[in-house]
Chain A
């Protein structure tokens, strides 16, 4: 890890223009993430988390402040970013394989057709979807679709991976399986990840740092450095230390929501 952060969001302020006037969503927000790290962002509903991801992806430009990736100012979308959402948005008219290959058709690649398929197959195998590459999305369960969506988001080896509540719609068991899958992907691939989530346990289990955003307009209210190592197991969430951390995070969310801490 070098000292200049890979993701550098500094003093970003942003408002949506609505019919009722400007709606301030982000205020003086600063987040830094070193290369290869995993940043989990939590915050009250509607506080501006998805807006933040759109700024990092270059889909929008902030009113004030700047977003830099690798020191370069983000002014438009770039090919070195991968995204996945709560809705897996797989294309029903394509097979799982062709869905995963989609980014390569857009960003261009030196790989030939067979190498592209090998690359996709490597990821599908990693997430446990080998044997399903020729199926249609509708033939897969929700968790499997989300796995396919994850493969698609990293098939082009992005530097930055943006995940906006990708596990939010899944049941608890499936979600915990996918956390494990996320760790497997992290070991096999190199990316710097920003994960938006509503689930505090998820933020602790996956994040190297957990950023708590305040209510809208969102700013960074609290940052927790997670001390769990790279080889995490679910039981790590049930240690006294984790319980204590979860407690702190829960209190921070209450503050962000404007509720009193008991």
Chain B
């Protein structure tokens, strides 16, 4: 019963949404070059099925690699800022300023800087847009560790490393995963920004752009759906990891 509910309710919601969408297009009598309807998507997917697979894979691995880099660098910066007040005061304005720059403006700069390096550029963009929440959450998690938590271990002669692995790190995990969920979505935006802008860039963003050039609305919408599916998949992978490694935080609140 609960399994049926768990899968059934979201599926039903999706179905209702698709029906409403179909109805909207039919009711307004929108032609295909103005708005695609769900029934147009199937043929579009089928027609470009090989490109969808190939470009979908491009987009996916670029996003994941960018995200992994963001995790590595984000944790690195977060740890440095979390443990050293001086570094926190020094890096914080830099990070905030960097994050405030709209990333769409960075895209052409990078595209010109490393012309033709599609993979590199896209990964770089995904990384740049997504590391900020991770760095901030880790640094806040570490710097707000109550001194008593540190003292119970320090009083026993624990090393800094032991305090980090036994207390600071696990205590920061819930915040880290919260940030990671934001970063997943951001990384997708970064990947697609770059793929859309770069000529011959491959990836779903590129497919979207070709749809735009040939005014193929069903294709453009199909790309959006494909992106949504990838995004949902990655997001729920993170949720699963969160439940495995930081599930205790959820229980603690109830």
Contact = CB atoms under 8 A, between A and B. Distances in A.
A81 B251 contact: no
Contacts of B251: 136, 138
Assign chain B's interface to a size class: 20 to 34
Interface in A95-109: 102-103, 105-107
Contacts of A128: none
Given A92-B252, A102-B166, A105-B166, A87 B158 contact: no
A156 interface: yes
B248 interface: yes
A102 B162 CA distance: 11
A91 B170 CA distance: 9
Contacts of A82: 155
Given A91-B170, A102-B166, A138-B251, A83 B152 contact: yes
Contacts of A103: 156
Nearest to A57: B155
B91 to A, nearest CB: 23
Contacts of B151: 54, 57, 59, 83, 85
Given A91-B170, A102-B166, A105-B166, A136 B155 contact: no
Interface in B153-177: 153-158, 162, 166-167, 170-171, 173
B157 A87 contact: no
A232 interface: no
B186 to A, nearest CB: 27
B155 A93 contact: no
A89 B157 contact: no
Contacts of B96: none
A106 B146 contact: no
Contacts of B89: none
A71 interface: no
A106 B170 contact: no
Contacts of B154: 59, 77
Contact of B146 (A78, A79, A89): A89
Given A105-B166, A138-B251, 6 more contacts: A57-B155, A59-B151, A59-B154, A102-B166, A106-B158, A106-B166
Interface of B: 146, 148-149, 151-158, 162, 166-167, 170-171, 173, 246, 248-249, 251-252
Interface of A: 54, 57-59, 76-79, 81-83, 85, 87, 89, 91-93, 102-103, 105-107, 136-138, 152, 156, 162
23 contacts: A57-B151, A58-B155, A59-B154, A82-B155, A83-B151, A85-B148, A87-B146, A89-B148, A91-B170, A92-B248, A92-B249, A92-B252, A93-B170, A93-B171, A93-B173, A102-B152, A102-B153, A106-B156, A106-B157, A106-B166, A107-B156, A137-B252, A138-B252
